[in-house]
DNA sequence: CCAGTTGGTAAAGGCTGTTTACTTATCGCG
DNA sequence: CGCGATAAGTAAACAGCCTTTACCAACTGG
C-alpha cells in the first residue's frame, strides 16, 4: 500500500543477505558454529586484547550483552579472556588462532563477493554505497544526539 | 582489526536509525505502542485485505511469525481479521482506521526526514542509495536462488 | 582512608523469530 | 463422488539476542 519506506527496507535486506553470504562461506570452511552476530564483535578486536566494556561501547549494547557474546565465543574456542595486567578487575578479550582462521575465511569470502559484485554491477557501485551510506549514517548519528 | 565488512555495518546501522526515527515520530503522534517490526508488516497491506500466509511470504518469515505479529497488531487495534469469502480456511488481514492513521503519521515522518536529508546531503544521495541498494539487493537475491 | 567510580558477573525476562506438530478446509483427479 | 495431497492457520516450546535490575570487587582522587 502507499509506497513505503523502501530505503529502509532495501538497506536492511541487502545488509542481511550480505552478512548471510559471508557467514555461509565461513561455514563452508568448516567453522559451522559461526553466526551473524559474531561479525559485529570480531570487527572490534585487535591483537593486544580489548576489554569487554570497550566492546560494549563500540557495539552500542550493554556490557552484559557484550559479556554474553564473548562468553559464547569463548566456549566455542574463538576468543579467550586474559587478565588485564594494568587493572585487577579487568580482563582482555583476545582472538584465538581458531578465531583468527575463521575471521580470515570470512574476510576472504567478503573480498571475493566484493569483486564479483563489482564485476557485475560496476566497480563504482559498492564504493558509492559505502561512501553514501557512510554520509547518511554520519548525519543520522548527529540527529540522534539531538 | 583488519578492516572489516564495513559495508554491511553501514547498511545495517543506517537502516536501524532510519526506522527508529520514523517510529519515534509516530510515537510523538500518540501511537506509543508502535514498534519497529510493524513497519515491515504494514508495508505489505492493502485495502482489500491480505492473507497472513501472503504476508509471511513477503516478509520472508514463517507463517507462524506473521500470524503472531498480526495477532499483536490486532489486539492493539491496528489490524483486523475478516473471513475470506473465497476460502473457508483463510482470513484476510486488513488495516483499521486507527492503523491507517498511524501508518500515515509514519509516512509523513519519513517524507519529512527524506526532505531534510536531501537538503543536507544533496538531493541525489538518497536516490543513489535507493537505486544502488536496489541493484545490489536484486543481484544478491539472484545469488540466493543458486 | 574511604566515598565514588569502573569492570565485570548473575538472574530474570522481553521481543522476535524458528521448529515441530497438529486441525481444518480446499482442490485435483480417477 | 470420494480420497489423497496440499494449503491456511493455530499452538506450544524454545533459540538468539538483547535489556533491566542487582550485585561484587578493584581502582582512584581528594
Please give the full DSSP string across B83-125, using - where no structure is assigned.
E-TT-TT-EEEEE-HHHHHHHHHHHHHHHHHHHHHHHHH-HHH
pLDDT at A132 over 70: yes
Report if residue A3 sits inside a domain. no
**Chain B residues whose beta carbon lies within 8 Å of the beta carbon of residue A142:** none
Q: Give me the residues near strand C, CB below 7 A.
A: A 51-54, 63-64, 67, 70, 81, 84, 87, 89-92; B 35-37, 40, 60-62, 64-65, 68-69, 72, 86-89
Q: How many domains does chain A have?
A: 1
Report if residue A68 sits inside a domain. yes
**CATH code: domain of residue B30:** 1.10.10.10
Q: Is there a contact between A71 and A88 (Cβ–Cβ < 8 Å)?
A: no
Report if residue A134 sits inside a domain. no
User: Which residue from B6, B107, B134 is facing A2, i.e. has the nearest CB?
Assistant: B107
Report if residue B118 sits inside a domain. yes
Look at the block and give the residue holding cell 545488509: A15
What per-residue confidence (pLDDT) applies to A83? 96
- Each residue's pLDDT tens digit, B91-141: 999 999 999 999 999 889 999 999 999 999 988 888 989 899 989 988 988
Report if residue B71 sits inside a domain. yes
Report if residue A100 sits inside a domain. yes
Report if residue B10 sits inside a domain. no
Give the mean pLDDT of A15-35.
90
Q: Is there a contact between B108 and A93 (Cβ–Cβ < 8 Å)?
A: no
Alpha-carbon distance B15 to A133, whole Å? Answer: 10
CA nearest neighbour of A22 among B79, B143, B129: B143
- Each residue's pLDDT tens digit, A81-107: 999 999 999 999 999 999 999 999 999
Q: Could you list the residue range(s) of the whole structural domain that residue B53 is in? A: 15-144
Share of chain A above pLDDT 70, in %: 95
Q: Is there a contact between B18 and A141 (Cβ–Cβ < 8 Å)?
A: no
Amino acid at each position: 500500500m502507499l509506497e513505503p519506506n523502501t530505503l529502509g527496507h532495501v538497506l536492511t535486506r541487502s545488509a542481511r543477505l550480505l552478512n548471510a553470504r559471508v557467514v555461509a562461506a565461513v561455514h563452508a570452511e568448516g567453522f559451522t558454529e559461526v553466526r551473524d552476530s559474531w561479525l559485529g564483535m570480531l570487527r572490534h578486536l585487535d591483537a593486544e586484547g580489548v576489554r569487554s566494556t570497550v566492546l560494549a561501547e563500540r557495539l552500542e549494547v550493554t556490557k552484559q550483552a557484550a559479556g554474553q557474546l564473548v562468553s559464547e565465543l569463548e566456549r566455542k574456542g574463538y576468543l579467550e579472556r586474559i587478565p588485564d595486567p594494568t587493572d585487577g578487575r579487568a580482563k582482555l578479550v583476545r582472538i584465538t588462532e581458531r578465531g583468527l582462521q575463521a575471521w580470515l575465511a570470512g574476510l576472504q569470502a567478503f573480498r571475493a563477493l566484493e569483486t564479483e559484485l563489482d564485476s557485475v554491477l560496476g566497480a563504482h557501485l559498492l564504493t558509492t554505497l559505502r561512501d553514501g551510506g557512510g554520509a547518511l549514517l554520519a548525519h543520522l548519528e548527529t540527529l540522534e544526539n539531538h
